[in-house]
């Protein structure tokens, strides 16, 4: 089974699934999405089927959905030999282990979606959209592009918070996933494959879905078409309220195959509060490994029915060991909340403030007993992500060198400089290593020093004349 978080599919190994669900959505509000007859009624007993119209939802909520583009620096690595096996030079380099010079780091571009939750520019998206990005840009529906600061990311739930400097921005309405019902219509707005403001719709397929290796999220499963670039975008109910963040898809190809998964918005908002307040998420832990209770296991432990979380291992020195929990115990409830499925326990404990004493009902050797476990603090996987880095070197983001006489002769040019490294605005605009910059704005470029002076004096969008192979084109670059 594959679950896709980025443009490529990610294989997911089997693991103990967790993260219990709260109940979900409902339609007690007056719906924004209207219904229209799909076909005229053929008889009084066979009325026409009704289909929803999401146009009002898109019109009212669409402006609060944003496109997010990122730039990520990749580490430089050794170049591969430029010779094929069988070539004498290939054997020479291989035999004497002569290292090739390191390749220059190549910036990676990414795209995703997000939505505005406060008028002053707080935005929710997926952690995998902005994690490790050196530059994040938010594009609004009115075509404004704003630099964003990453406030924090939480990889365990795949939730991130970013912030742009603005006022009076449109915001989404936050809904209540506890009212969700399987079979209800929902809609997603996002930027699949970079196609901004794309709307797709479908129904809720299942609630509180536990996925392998996802321990803290009770996913909403839908059949809404979600593709790379939709990540981080909102999932709306019929009332035009956000009830989830689109996060993953089931895929064997990297594209949509009929199943998509969203993070319930109440889970995401709790994560958001911690990230904004502390720059990290404070989670509880008790230090046990658990597994589900099957019918056979229930019979072997003397349980009347399969239920609870079976403790298969207890970490030495952990809160669980200090409280007296042992392998073979079955945790049936926590603070009065029944643990029907093992995947409910990690979310219950994870959402508990460290230092809190939890009362547990435990099944051991054919009888129940009451125990109290003081929750410990789970180390954060990653605290707040670093703010977007300044573009280096220079505002343009390029390191250049002069052309050699041979290069000038072979390329048929008498000026310009060669791009040796590229990052920031230049990389985002599409300038590549090896390009020759011939002119900056209306000024012909003769050398690196002159180019840097031109860049230092410029601001806004500048047309850069670039020669690549046999083509010469102007590339618009936005300078901060």
Chain-centre distance for alpha carbon 57: 24
Active site residue 53: no
Q: Is 452 a catalytic residue?
A: no
With CA atoms as reference, report the closest residue to 222 among 198, 252, 248, 197. Answer: 248
208 in active site: no
In contact, 204 and 184? CB cutoff 8 Å: yes
As a whole number of angstroms, the distance between CA 412 and CA 295 comes to 78
Tokens of 439: 């002119």
Give SS3 for 134.
coil
Pairing of strands 241-250, 173-174: parallel
CB-CB contact of 425 with 434 (8 Å):
no
Measured between alpha carbons, how far is 320 from 237 in angstroms, rounded to an integer? 40
The burial of 370, by beta-carbon neighbours within 10 Å (0-12 exposed, 13-18 middle, 19 or more buried), is given as exposed
Judge contact between 193 and 239, C-beta under 8 A: no
Report how far residue 477's alpha carbon sits from residue 480's, in angstroms, rounded to the nearest whole number: 10
Query: d(Cα 307, Cα 40) in Å, to the nearest integer?
Result: 49
Q: How far apart are CA 186 and CA 205, in angstroms?
A: 10
Q: How many residues does the chain have?
A: 480
| Alpha helices (H) in 117-264, listed in sequence order | 127-130
Catalytic residue among 69, 113, 154, 158: 158
Catalytic residue among 231, 251, 260, 342: 231
Rounded Cα gap, residues 379 and 285, in angstroms:
9
Contact 204, 180 (CB under 8 A): yes
Sequence-distant (6+) residues with CB within 8 A of 409 are none
Identify whether the C-beta of residue 225 lies closer than 8 Å to the C-beta of residue 246. Answer: no
The backbone torsions φ and ψ at residue 393, rounded to the nearest 5 degrees and listed phi first, read -85, 135
What is the four-CA torsion angle of 436, 441, 442, 448, rounded to 10 degrees? -50
Give me the catalytic one of 69, 113, 128, 191: 128
- Whole-angstrom Cα distance, residue 410 to residue 384? 50
How far from 97 is each of 87, 94, 100, 473, CA to CA, in Å?
Answer: 15, 5, 9, 41
Name the pairing type of β-strands 288-292 and 283-285. Answer: unpaired
By annotation, the residues acting in catalysis are 128, 158, 231
């Amino acid at each position: 089974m594959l679950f896709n978080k980025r443009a490529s599919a990610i294989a997911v190994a089997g693991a103990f699934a967790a993260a219990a669900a709260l109940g979900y959505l409902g339609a007690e509000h007056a719906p924004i999405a209207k219904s229209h007859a799909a076909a005229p009624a053929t008889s009084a007993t066979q009325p026409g089927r009704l289909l929803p119209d999401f146009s009002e939802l898109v019109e009212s909520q669409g402006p609060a959905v944003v496109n997010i583009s990122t730039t990520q620096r990749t580490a430089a690595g050794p170049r591969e030999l430029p010779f094929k096996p069988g070539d004498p030079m290939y054997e020479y380099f291989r035999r004497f282990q002569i290292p090739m010079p390191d390749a220059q780091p190549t910036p990676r571009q990414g795209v995703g979606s997000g939505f505005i939750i406060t008028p002053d520019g707080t935005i929710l998206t997926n952690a995998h959209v902005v994690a490790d990005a050196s530059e994040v840009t938010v594009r609004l529906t009115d075509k404004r592009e704003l630099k964003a600061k990453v406030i924090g990311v939480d990889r365990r739930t795949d939730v991130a918070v970013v912030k742009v400097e603005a006022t009076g921005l449109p915001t989404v309405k936050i809904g209540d996933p506890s009212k969700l019902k399987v079979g209800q219509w929902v809609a997603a707005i996002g930027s699949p494959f970079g196609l901004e403001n794309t709307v797709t719709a479908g129904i809720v397929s299942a609630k509180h879905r536990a996925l392998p290796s996802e321990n803290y999220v009770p996913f909403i499963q839908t059949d809404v078409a979600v593709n790379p670039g939709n990540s981080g975008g909102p999932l709306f109910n019929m009332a035009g309220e956000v009830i989830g963040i689109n996060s993953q898809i089931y895929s064997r190809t990297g594209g949509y195959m009929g199943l998509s998964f969203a993070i319930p918005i109440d889970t995401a908002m709790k994560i958001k509060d911690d990230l904004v307040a502390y720059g990290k998420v404070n989670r509880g832990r008790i230090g046990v490994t658990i597994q589900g209770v099957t019918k056979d296991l229930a019979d072997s432990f003397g349980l009347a029915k399969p239920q609870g979380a079976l403790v298969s291992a207890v970490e030495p020195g952990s809160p669980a060991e200090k409280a007296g929990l042992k392998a073979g115990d079955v945790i049936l409830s926590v603070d009065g909340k029944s643990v029907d499925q093992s995947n409910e326990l990690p979310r219950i404990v994870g959402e508990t403030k460290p230092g809190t004493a939890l009362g547990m009902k435990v099944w051991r050797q054919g009888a129940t007993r009451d125990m109290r476990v003081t929750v410990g603090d789970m180390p954060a996987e990653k605290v707040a992500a670093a703010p977007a880095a300044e573009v280096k070197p220079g505002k343009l983001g390029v390191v250049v060198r002069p052309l050699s006489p041979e290069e000038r002769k072979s390329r048929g040019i008498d000026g310009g400089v060669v791009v040796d490294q590229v990052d920031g605005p230049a990389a985002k605009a599409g300038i590549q290593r090896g390009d020759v910059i011939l002119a900056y704005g209306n000024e012909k470029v003769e050398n690196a020093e002159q180019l840097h002076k031109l860049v230092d004096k410029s601001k806004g969008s500048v047309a850069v004349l670039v020669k690549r192979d046999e083509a010469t084109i102007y590339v618009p670059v936005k300078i901060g």
